[in-house]
Amino acid sequence: MSDSAHFDDFDRIWSRRDLSRAIGWKRLSSWDGGTRTLRAVFEVRPEFCHSGGTIAQGGFVTAWLDASMAQAMMRDTQFQSNIATLELKVSFLKAVPPGEVLAEGRVLRRGKRVVFLESSLLNLDGTELLATATSTGLIVPLVLDKE
């Protein structure tokens, strides 16, 4: 199977997962293997929001950041590994309104057992930084759901 076919198959499986749909996964925007950076689009649905449906709840913001880091790790290991999060720190910089957002996950350093990651949540055009995260993870085998 070619790399692009593997990516397409993985994206198809990922986008159909209950968890992915539950957190508003929309689509993979890009993967840059050189910089080990993944960009993904998430939908901030009104039911994810508080304050009269105007501000995304922090748990969803955290999930988008975490998912982008995990996706970057999976792709960086050619879908051989995933992460078990050991530590996660999130900074909420601005209110996240309903609509679509861009989560950018990056692999900073990967060893044999531990990986260090970071993520940024931006408005869809990438001009406004909404939240950031860093994570330390234990590298574990990737187990894909079968369809």
Q: What is the pLDDT of residue 65?
A: 98
Instruction: Identify the pLDDT of residue 35.
Output: 97
pLDDT over 60 at 63, yes or no? yes
Report residue 84 as tokens: 């078990």
pLDDT at position 18, please?
A: 77
Classify residue 133 by burial, with Cβ atoms within 10 Å: 0-12, 13-18, 19+: buried
Determine phi and psi for 104, rounding to 5 degrees. -120, 110
Tokens of 20: 């992915």
Report d(CA 32, CA 14) in Å as an integer.
18
- Give the pLDDT score at 143: 86
**Which CATH superfamily does the domain covering 3-123 fall into?**
Hotdog Thioesterase (3.10.129.10)
83 pLDDT band (50/70/90 cuts)?
very high
Every domain of the chain and the residues it spans? 3-123
Query: What pLDDT sits at residue 84?
Result: 96
Over the stretch 86-145, which tens digit does the pLDDT of each residue have? 999 999 999 999 999 999 999 999 999 999 999 999 999 999 999 999 999 999 999 876
